[in-house]
Structure formats: C-alpha cells, structure tokens
Amino acid sequence: MSRVDRRIVKSKEAIIKAVIELMSEKDFDDISIQDIADRANVTRGTIYVHYGDKFDLLDKLITNHLNQLKEIYKSTSEMDFIEGTQICFEYFQCNYSFYLTMLKGKGAPSFRTRLLETLIEEGENDKDITKGKNSNLNKDIVVQFFGMAYVGVVEWWILNGMPYPPQVMAEQVGVLLERNL
C-alpha cells in the first residue's frame, strides 16, 4: 500500500480553499492561476502538477463534491428519510462555502444542472420511488419532481445562510418526502 504524501494533500487543500475564496470575491473568468497560487501560497508549477488549468481544477473540484454526494446517498439508502436527509444536510453545512460559491456565482445554472443530474441519477436507481402512492405514476416524472424539489430546497437553504440547522431541515424535508412516497 502506498503512503499518501502529506505535502501533496496540503498543497491540494490550499489550492482548493484558495479557488473557493477567490470565486466568492470575483468572477471565475477574472481569476488567474497566479491569483490561485498567491492565495494558496504555492507556485504556479505546483498547481500545474495537479491540474491542467483553472478549468480543470474547477471541474475536478465540482466532480469531487458530486461524487461525495453520491457516496452519501448510497450510504443512506437503507435509512429512513429523516435520518438520511440529516446526513445530507450536515454534508452541505460542512461544505457551505463551496456550495454557496457555486450556487450564487455566474456559473450557478451550470452547477445547479450538474447537481440536479446527480440527484436524478440517484433517484433513477431507487427501486422504491414508484411504489406506494406513486405506483401509477411515470418514474421519469417522479424522479424529476423529487430531484427538482430537493435541489430547490438545498439551494434556498444555502443561499439564505442556512436559516435552520440540518436537523430541522432533515425533519421538514423528510416528512415531505415520506408524504409523497
């Protein structure tokens, strides 16, 4: 088993933190690799060792977060709605600065679409989504409905500064999900 070089991990973490901070201050198009390097306290070369360019960095950052979200959904699939939803909202809370930056910036529609696609993909894998009250409904429509509703609630919660704690969000959203399944 290979050891993880802590210097690489620290450099990547600093780069990611820097790009998120910079995106909260100005448009991504106006951010240079030098800006990221200066903020992260690394050289431009260090960034290029790990990322092809700033667009590659952003794409990998987004992909990493959406993959984490997929893993959370898979790990919570056997839980009740409230318990599973609380874990999801705790994840969003822990990654608040990333999601806030992505949902309020110029690229928000593109990111929102990718987030929705991730949730829809997970919904399509849910065998129970068209059982019970939804047994006579078209699965595509049901999946779209739940995906859009969930993304909308998450987006509202993030953009409004998380006005309720994850537990309250989980209870409220969990009840709504249970009522509609």
Mean pLDDT is lowest, of 75-79, 91-95, 137-141, 176-180, for: 176-180
Residue 76, pLDDT above cutoff 80: yes
What is the percent of the chain with per-residue pLDDT over 90, rounded to a whole number? 60
Query: pLDDT tens digits for 133-145?
Result: 777 888 888 889 8
Residue 25, pLDDT above cutoff 80: yes
Residue 2: the pLDDT is 62
Determine the average pLDDT of the residues in 99-124. Answer: 88
**Domain 1-52 classified CATH 3.40.50.300?**
no
Could you tell me which residue, 111 or 130, shows the higher pLDDT?
Answer: 111
Residue 177: the pLDDT is 78
Highest mean pLDDT among 104-108, 123-127, 144-148: 144-148
Ranges of each domain in the chain: 1-52, 62-179
Tokens 């960095």 appear where? 57
Rounded to two decimals, the pTM is: 0.85
Residue 88 in contact with residue 46, Cβ under 8 Å? no
